[in-house]
Amino acid sequence: MTVVSTAITALCLWGKAYNSRKIVKRKGISSNNPPPRLINTEAELAKEKTNVYKLDRAHIFSVNIFYEIEKLMRVPDEWAPPESKPYTSRENLQHWLTDEKGRYQFVIRGGSDTEVLWNDAKQVKADPVYKRPFWTKSFVQWSPLGTYLATVHRQGAAVWGGASTFNRLMHYAHTQVKLIDFPPGEKYLVTYSRHEPSNPRDSHVRRFIIGLNA
């Protein structure tokens, strides 16, 4: 098989894969009218729908995006050991369990302030733990095991934790979040927004992995 016939066969197979999946609109394939160049989400969608697509008994369609190939081309020929980074300890997210009085923590909101306090039935006034103004836009929510405190914002949700400082651990982008929830194991954060996504592939519900509970 000559180079020309091989190229023609490849273009025909390309057209068969994408036409059957209705991914790309085109006028036709010829030497003067090359396949349209896909970018961003279109390229990702094309790969998702057509990669490892069986064209016939002898041909399987394989798709790679340009930046994936460029990434492989940048791999050095000689292996170099990774740079060793010093260990940095992080705050114990279950520190409240070591309370000598065995107290639980609870959170209240008043006006623009959100405050975490110790729950002690023997005291008239609860001991404060942490207080922050404008901490959330609408509400806060504990994770099931009390490891995290989640807050809601215009651009998404955030997860906080710690012994007494409640540092922001992660932020998850989802415009105009209305509801959030954790599964029992606290491995994920699920968010819901009524905002119509600009990308038709996006959903009103998103699930984010919390990578700090290992």
CA distance 145 to 117: 17
Secondary structure of residue 214 in the 3-state scheme: coil
- Cα-based distances in Å from 146 to 37, 75, 106, 116: 49, 43, 10, 12
| Pair 40, 65: CB distance under 8 Å | no
Structure-token pair, residue 18? 């994408």
* Interacting residues of 111 by C-beta distance below 8 A, sequence separation 6+: none
Condensed to tens digits (0 to 9), the pLDDT of residues 65-109 reads 888 888 888 888 888 898 888 888 778 898 999 999 889 999 999
* Interacting residues of 185 by C-beta distance below 8 A, sequence separation 6+: 213
Structure-token pair, residue 90? 């992080």
Secondary structure of residue 33 in the 3-state scheme: strand
Q: How confident is the model at residue 29 (pLDDT cuts 50, 70, 90)?
A: very low
Condensed to tens digits (0 to 9), the pLDDT of residues 111-163 reads 999 999 999 888 888 899 999 999 999 999 999 999 999 999 988 999 999 88
Q: How confident is the model at residue 184 (pLDDT cuts 50, 70, 90)?
A: very high
Q: Quick one: pLDDT at residue 28?
A: 44
Condensed to tens digits (0 to 9), the pLDDT of residues 34-45 reads 444 444 567 777
- In which order are the strands placed within the sheet that holds 205-209? 177-181, 188-193, 205-209
